[in-house]
Structure 1
Amino acid sequence: MSFPGSPLEKTKPRRLVSLCLGVLGKHFEDITADLSEIAANFPADIKMAMLAIARRRKLLNDEVLISLAESSWEILDISGSDVSDSGLAKVAEICQSLQAVDISRCSKVTPLGVSELVHHCRSLEILRYGGCPRSDYTARRCLGILKPELNNAEGESWEELDTVEIAKGAQSLRWLVWPKIDEDSQESLATECPRIIVNPKPSPFGFRGVEVPREALPDIALDDLIVKDINPKTWAAVCGITPRPVVPSILSPTELPMAERFRLAFVERDTRLAPKRAKNARQHQRRAERDWVMTSTDAKSIVLASQVSRSLHSRS
């Protein structure tokens, strides 16, 4: 019997696609120039995994984000990246089904970018920002963007209002994660945006009687689940993260991990086929030269001239 975290616990081998994403992620900076062409036919979940890797490798900017953006995305985590208002506005136009967005520690995002996000993404329920002085400053200036404006609304409470009566503002926003919110901003939101719950905490009974979504918990990254099967070494060298040790399998103490066996098998096959590929290349080159000689008049002239020259030299 083995217990979680014990050396005898059997680990599930990573999927082949996760191994490939790990290799691709380690060399991400080499493909950024052609990323839009490379990722054009990738599925939406693969693009999101590449985005998560780029963010962790500190390579996420406007160009990378726009190259990977997919209209079916419902979450977007660009926290701590170099994405600016331009990139955020463009991806908001493309990904209008976004429900949870993390722009915390994005020093290049201003209220203009947040305004575009709120305007295009009408299903946005969770917003995470702040986390650094510049982002906190932006968050304070965004209060007016989140506050609703009413069109002759009638009713005694916010709960009685229909969404069509809310002219502007973050109509569907319900959860706001802003770790270092100041008292004035918190009081303003509580008074003018009572539908928005700020910095909810996990509880077995929910928050104010409402179950808190996983994406609204501040200690959980939005894209953690997306890269859970990818080796942390993919970005550890850049971010200074200490990867979790690989737990050996209980099958055999000397058995190699699946990823290493896969790599060695590929290297062995490549080495075994190398002479055959070289031979085929030489045969192809000779065949091409022979075909050229048989079909080209100039080549025939050169061959005949060479033969005549050798004949004259031999007679002399």
Structure 2
Amino acid sequence: MEEKLQKPLKNLDLNTNRGRGPENKILVSAYVSSSRMSPLKSKPPSLVSLCLGVIGKHLEDMIPCLAEISVMFPSDIKMSIAAIARRKKLLDDDVIICLADSSWEILDVGGSDVTNSGLAKVAEICKSLRAVDISRCNKISSMGVLELVQHCRSLETLRCGGCPSSESTARRSLSIFKPNLSNVEGETWEEIDTSEIGHGGQSLRWLVWPRIDKDSLEMLSSECPRIVVNPKPSLVAYRADEVPREALPDVALDEPFVKDIDPKTWVVTGVVQKPTSFPLSNELSIAEKFRLAFAERDARMAPKRAKNARQRQRRAERDWMMSSDEAKAMVFASKATRSLHKS
């Protein structure tokens, strides 16, 4: 349609008094409508993204030789492969250690099988880490957090919580961030050596813990005022205290490294993928809570119901015997039979 309209519109001057006839007005209106309705051409994926998609689809087969292959990859490609592995539930100690690069400034192992030893090894390699996500990691404890803050002196953002194990890890790690002033020497604040104040994490400023409990929040507010818990985005741009993107839980830390890759790359057949953002939907639905509560109550009341049923049966038998002459005769006959056998 647009090609048909181009020819008559060549000589049409829209800024003059010419072309105001009804036929020209209809022509101009149709041209504008067709221009608005024409679909915008999307930017084609880059060759790197296409190659990463192919690698991601066959990542399971590449893991045994990943240590040899990853040596040839630049740091951003390693980060992309780690992000794909995390989404495909393949990220563990062996994979993340093979891919770890000394130039990394972010580390996202949320929801993976990385353990304390794997996190400690990566922290030794990637000492420039500024933001780390260990949320939903069942195999990382406060010991892993201690190793992380001791090796990464530039750590500013830590994301945790999201599952019972990670919630417990976050609570146990609070003592790592608290300043320790009991053994500090010096009469003035200027004379205090910052390395003596705490075990580590002196540079930590942003803590993303969506379900932090009240006691932990009060402790951090009073004893660690430098740490901002669950920060909100700044309304004014370019402020000194502007919240960095890594401290916002709406997207994953490694999202920029896979944004141009086809999401089908990490789809696993038969497995429902969890969202990459913070897992606020882990909580059971109200209907499921009611069902579990009813099942628990039913199991708890089962012995009592059985006891009541036996009592009702005995009561019914007793009432039947007291109200029926035939039942009384049968009882007396039974007693007589037992007495004869005893004698």
Q: TM-score, normalised by structure 1?
A: 0.70
Give distance in 2, aligned partners of 1:7 and 1:117.
52
- Structure 1 residue runs of 4 or more that deviate by more than 6 Å after TM superposition: 159-162
Maintained 8 Å contact 1:71/1:94: yes
* Partner in structure 2 of residue 313 of structure 1: none
* Partner in structure 2 of residue 63 of structure 1: 94
Which of residues 44, 61, 74 in structure 1 aligns to 2:105?
74
Q: Which has the higher contact order (CA 8 A, sep 6+)?
A: 1
1:184-233 Cα offsets, whole Å, 9 max, x none, are 00001111111000001123147x97211010001121011111111111
Per-residue deviation at 1:8? 1.2
Per-residue deviation at 1:234? 0.4
Which of residues 152, 162, 165 in structure 2 aligns to 1:131?
162
* Partner in structure 2 of residue 264 of structure 1: none
Maintained 8 Å contact 2:177/2:198: no
* SS of residue paired to 1:149: coil
Letter paired with 2:185: N
The yes-or-no answer on 1:228 pairing with 2:259 is: yes
Letter paired with 1:171: Q
The yes-or-no answer on 1:185 pairing with 2:216 is: yes
Per-residue deviation at 1:162? 7.1
The yes-or-no answer on 1:95 pairing with 2:160 is: no
* Partner in structure 2 of residue 40 of structure 1: 71
Letter paired with 1:22: G
CA pair 116-22 structure 1, distance change in 2 beyond 3 A = same
* SS of residue paired to 1:176: strand
Show the 5 A alignment for 1:1-316. Answer: 8-150=39-181, 151-152=184-185, 163-164=194-195, 166-205=197-236, 210-237=241-268, 240=272
Give distance in 2, aligned partners of 1:8 and 1:181.
46
* SS of residue paired to 2:107: strand
Q: Which structure 1 residue ranges, 5 or more long, are not aligned?
A: 243-316
Letter paired with 1:63: D
Per-residue deviation at 1:147? 1.1
* Partner in structure 2 of residue 294 of structure 1: none
Letter paired with 1:172: S
CA pair 153-83 structure 1, distance change in 2 beyond 3 A = farther
Per-residue deviation at 1:109? 0.2
* SS of residue paired to 1:136: helix
1:221-274 Cα offsets, whole Å, 9 max, x none, are 1011111111111013456459xxxxxxxxxxxxxxxxxxxxxxxxxxxxxxxx
Give distance in 2, aligned partners of 1:232 and 1:135.
27
* SS of residue paired to 2:222: helix
CA pair 226-7 structure 1, distance change in 2 beyond 3 A = farther
Q: Which structure 2 residue ranges, 5 or more long, are not aligned?
A: 1-31, 275-343
Q: TM-score, normalised by structure 2?
A: 0.64
Give distance in 2, aligned partners of 1:18 and 1:56.
16
1:100-127 Cα offsets, whole Å, 9 max, x none, are 0000000000111000001100000000
Letter paired with 1:226: F
Per-residue deviation at 1:7? 7.5
Per-residue deviation at 1:41? 1.3
CA pair 8-34 structure 1, distance change in 2 beyond 3 A = same
Letter paired with 2:225: P
Give distance in 1, aligned partners of 2:200 and 2:187.
18
Give distance in 1, aligned partners of 2:247 and 2:99.
24
Maintained 8 Å contact 1:148/1:170: no
Give distance in 1, aligned partners of 2:250 and 2:79.
20
Query: CA RMSD of the aligned region, Å?
Result: 2.7
* SS of residue paired to 1:97: coil
Give distance in 1, aligned partners of 2:86 and 2:195.
37
Letter paired with 1:152: E
Give distance in 1, aligned partners of 2:116 and 2:145.
8
CA pair 210-7 structure 1, distance change in 2 beyond 3 A = farther
* SS of residue paired to 2:162: coil
Maintained 8 Å contact 2:176/2:198: no
Letter paired with 2:160: Y
Give distance in 1, aligned partners of 2:195 and 2:170.
26
Maintained 8 Å contact 2:57/2:265: yes
